[in-house]
Chains A and B, each alone.
Chain A
Amino acid sequence: MRVIEKAPARAISSYLYRNPKARLAGLLALPLTWLIGVYIISLFLLLITAFWFIDPFTSKVRPGFTLDNFVNLITVPAYFATSMRTLGIALAVTVLTILFAIPLGIFMAKIASPWLRNFLAVAITLPLWAGYLVKLLAMRLTFTEQGLFNWLMEPFGIRGPGFGIPVTILTLAYLWFPYMALPVFTAIRQLPNNLFDASADLGAKGWATVFRMVLPLITPAIIAGSVFTFSLSLGDYLAARFVGGTTQMIGSIIASNISLNPPVAAAFSMVPIAFVVMYLMVARRTGSLERI
C-alpha cells in the first residue's frame, strides 16, 4: 500500500471536499464580510441617524427616536418642492438620454460601417475616462455667458438658457449618457437584420419600424439603462452646484446638512432610496432587471 504524502494545501482541499458547508462558508466569507460589514452596516448607521435628535445648542447629534425629520420632508414646503424638483430632473434626464440613445443605437448597430461603429463606441465611452469634475467644469465653461454655446449660436440669434434647471438636465444627461447608450446599442445589435427586412416587406416605414418593432424589443435594455440614469441623477448635487444657478436638489440639501444637521440629511437620503425602490419595483414587473 502506498502512503500518500499529504501537503497542507492538499489537506485543506480534501477537508473542504468532505464538508460542503465549510466549502460554501469559505467561498462567501470575504464577499459577505464586505457586503454586510462594510456596505450595509455603514449605510444602516447613516440612515438610523434620521430618527435621532440634534442638540440646538451645540449641533451635536443625540440618539433617540423621533419621526419629526420625516414629517418635515412633507410639511416643509421647501423640502417637498426640492424632492419633487429632483424627481422631475431625474425623469427628464432619463427621457433625454433615451431620445439620444435610440437613433444613435440604430445607426451604430445597423447602418454604420464597422470602422465608424468602433469609432462611435469609443466616442461614447471615452468621456467616462475623464474626471467627473472636469466634465462638470467643461459644461460650465460651455454654457457660461461668454462661453462656447453663446459664441456658436450668436450668428443665429440664439442665446443659451443660462445656468438653471435646463442646463442641469443637459449636464446630467451628458454625464450619464454612456450608461444608457451602451445597453441600448447592445440590444439593437442583437436584433436580427431580417426583422427589419420583414418590417419593410410588410409595408412599415422607418418610424413605424422603430416604434412597433425596435422599441418593444429593446424596452428591457432601456429600463436597465434608465435605472442608472435615474438613480444617479437623483443623488447628484455637484451638477446643481456648478451649472444649476440657484437650483437646489436633494443632494444639495444633504450636502449642506451633513455636518450641520445630520438627522435631516439622513432623512433626506431616504427620499432617493424610496424613489429608486419604487422605480425598481415597476421595472421588475417588466422582467428587464434580468438584463442588467
Chain B
Amino acid sequence: MNRKKLTIPALLAAGVLVLSGCATDSGELKLTVPDVPMKTALGEFEGELNIVNWSGFVEPAWTDKFTADTGCVVKPKVAGTSDEMVTLMRTGDYDIVSASGDAALRLIVGGDVAPLNLELIPNFSDEIAAGMKGQIYDTVNGKPYGVPIGRGANLLQYNSDVTGEAPKSWDVVWEADSPYAGKITAYDAPIYIADAAVYLMYHKPELNIKNPYALDETQLAAAVELLQQQNKIVGEYWSDPVAQITSFVGGNTVVGTSWEVLKKFAAKENLKTTLPIEGSTGWYDAWLLSTTSPNSNCAYAWMNYTSQASVNGAIAMNFGMAPANIAFCSTSPEAQAHCDQFAAEDEEFFSRIWPWTTPIEECVDGRTNVKCTSFQDWTNAWVTVKG
C-alpha cells in the first residue's frame, strides 16, 4: 500500500464536511409553522454579515468582492454537522446559514428562520435547477425559506476489483446474505434511517411508505429492524470523510454509501459509484435567513450575490457538489466537466433522489390520520441500531 499517496486525498477530504437534506412536491401539504414576517424592501447595508456554513462555502476568493461591492464584512463560522448548525443558529448570533434539508425544516418549524422575499433576490431565476426549487425541505405552505446553493446524492460506492459489475441494487448493503458482509460501510447519523426507508419503499410495498421522511411508528420500526439486520454485516460506520476514504482505499470496505466528491478524493480507478434501482437520498443545501438577523440587508445581498452563476459555481467546485445555478455549467469546459461529473443538469438522475428532510410529527407526505415520527424519535432509534 502506498501510504504517502493515501494521505493527500485524506487531507483534502478533511475539509469536506457532513451534510444533510430532504424532499417532495409540497402540493397541498399544510404544515404548522410560526408566523414570521417577510422582508418587503431592502435598506442600507449594515456593514457586517455573520454566516454559519459548511467548510468551503465561504472563501476569500468570492467574499472579498462581495465586501468591496456592499461594504458588508463577512464573518464565517464553520459547522461540522447539521445539528451543530441548528444549535448555532438558535443562539441568535448569526444572520444566515448554509443549511442542508435535514436542518432546514427543523429551523423553519422552530421559527428560527424567516420566509424570503424572492423579488429581492433577482439572481434566483430560471437558471436555478428545477429540482432545487419549491422542495418541502425549504418551502413550506408555498413560502420559500431557502435560496439553493448546491446538492449531492448519497450513492452506492463499490470496489470493482471485488464486485466486478456495478451492483444493481442496494441489497448488497442491506441483506444478511450479502457477499460483502463485514466489508460494508454505512453512514453514521440518524438521517440514514431514510436510506433504509427508501430500500423498503421498493422491496416492501405493503408497508406503504410514500416518503422516506414521513414514517409512522410501524414504518419506523420496520426501518430500524432493517438497520439492525445491517448492523451485523457492517464493517464500519462513517461520519468522518477521511475515515470513509481510508476505509475504501485500505480495503476494509468494499461497498457502501458515499458521495461523488469522496470518490474523487479517493482517486482510485477501481472505486466507482452507482445509483441503484431503488433510488437514494441526497443532501440539498440552501441559505436560510435568521428571524432575528440584525443584518438582513447584507444577508439578502449575499444570497443574491452567491446565486449568480460564477460565484455559485465556485462554491460548488470548491466543495464538490452540483451547483444550484446550472447556467454555470456552460461558462467553461472545466465547469461543464464538473457539472457532468456531479450530474448537475441531470434532472432525471435527481428525480430518483429523496432530498434529506427533517422528519417532523406532521407527516410530510400529506397524511393527516397518523402522527409521524419526529427527528427526536429517529435520534433515539439510531442509538438502538448501533447497540
Contact = CB atoms under 8 A, between A and B. Distances in A.
A236 interface: no
Nearest to A257: B379
Given A58-B106, A145-B250, A261-B376, 12 more contacts: A79-B383, A137-B246, A141-B246, A144-B246, A144-B252, A147-B1, A241-B240, A241-B243, A246-B236, A253-B383, A257-B383, A259-B84
A57 B1 contact: no
24 contacts: A56-B376, A56-B377, A57-B374, A58-B106, A58-B109, A78-B386, A78-B387, A137-B10, A137-B242, A147-B1, A162-B182, A162-B252, A163-B235, A241-B239, A241-B240, A241-B243, A245-B235, A246-B235, A256-B188, A256-B379, A259-B87, A260-B83, A260-B375, A261-B376
Contact of B383 (A162, A163, A241, A256): A256
B369 interface: no
Interface in B234-285: 234-237, 239-240, 242-243, 246-247, 250-252
Interface in A48-91: 54, 56-60, 76-79, 81-82
Interface of B: 1, 3, 6, 10, 81, 83-84, 86-87, 90, 106, 109-110, 182, 188-190, 231, 234-237, 239-240, 242-243, 246-247, 250-252, 360-361, 374-377, 379-380, 382-384, 386-387
B384 to A, nearest CB: 4
Contacts of A245: 234-236
A279 interface: no
Q: Which of A59, A151, A261 has the most CB of B within 10 A?
A: A59
B238 to A, nearest CB: 9
Nearest to B90: A60
A162 B109 contact: no
A141 B3 contact: yes
B360 to A, nearest CB: 7
B234 A246 contact: yes
Interface in A139-153: 140-141, 144-147, 151
Contacts of B379: 256-257, 260-261
Please name the 6 residue pairs, one residue from A and one from B, whose CB atoms are nearest each other, closest first. A259-B83, A144-B250, A145-B251, A58-B110, A78-B384, A260-B379
Interface string A234-251: 000000011001101000
A147 B384 CA distance: 32
Contact of A261 (B10, B246, B380, B386): B380
Contact of A147 (B109, B250, B376): B250
Contacts of A137: 10, 242, 246
Contacts of B81: 259
Interface of A: 54, 56-60, 76-79, 81-82, 137, 140-141, 144-147, 151, 162-163, 241-242, 245-246, 248, 252-253, 256-257, 259-261, 264
What DSSP secondary structure best describes chain B's contact surface? helix
A122 B132 CA distance: 58
B243 A242 contact: yes
A248 B386 contact: yes
Contacts of B240: 241-242
Nearest to A81: B387
Contacts, number: 103
B190 A260 contact: yes
Contacts of A54: 376
A118 B189 CA distance: 47
Contacts of B87: 259
Residue in B81, B110, B231, B380 whose Cβ sees the most chain A Cβ within 10 Å: B380
B222 to A, nearest CB: 18
Contacts of B375: 59, 260
A59 to B, nearest CB: 6
Given A145-B252, A260-B83, A56 B374 contact: yes
A291 B109 CA distance: 56
Contacts of B386: 78, 246, 248, 252
A146 B243 contact: no
Nearest to A147: B250
A162 B109 CA distance: 44
Contacts of A82: 383, 387
Contacts of B3: 141
Contacts of A58: 106, 109-110
Contacts of B384: 76-78
Contacts of B239: 241
A146 B246 CA distance: 10
Contact of A56 (B188, B190, B361): B361
Contacts of A78: 383-384, 386-387
Contacts of A252: 386
A147 to B, nearest CB: 6
A245 to B, nearest CB: 5
A256 B386 CA distance: 12
A68 to B, nearest CB: 12
A67 B110 CA distance: 26
A260 B374 CA distance: 12
A52 to B, nearest CB: 14
A224 to B, nearest CB: 34
A14 B297 CA distance: 61
A228 to B, nearest CB: 26
